[in-house]
Amino acid sequence: LSVLCRTREQAEAALTIPWLTEVVLDFLEVHGLQDAVRAVQASGRAAVVATPRVLKPNEEKLWRFYLKLGADALLVRSAGLMQTLQRLRPISTQGDGQGGISLANGRQLST
């Protein structure tokens, strides 16, 4: 079972639920996101980071930031970001535990 958290406080509260296996972090700002990912993973749960729905072309630093977080998965919500991430890192259709980008619908993007 997963829970979606929009703030650090919500993520901390979610970590008190013993049977929870995955926490989706959907923060409005990136401030505190790295710490939240670490806290979720340190608790033995999977940390999924939801990326913004819209990223501007000049926000390459954000793309790289999301990749460097070390989250167990990224929830990518835009085709443009998926194409950019595909160029930066291999895409897998299943969580492989090696930092690849997994597609939620199981479809492989063509290159």
**pLDDT for the residue 85:** 73
pTM of the predicted structure, to 2 decimals: 0.75
Pick from 22, 85, 23: which is nearest to 52 by CA?
Answer: 85
Q: Render pLDDT for 14-64 as a digit per residue (tens, 0 to 9).
A: 999 999 999 999 998 888 999 999 999 999 999 999 988 877 777 767 878
Give the per-residue pLDDT at 92.
55
Contacts of 68 (CB under 8 A, 6+ apart): none
Nearest to 4 by CA among 53, 42, 34, 40: 40
**Statement: residue 101 has pLDDT above 80:** no
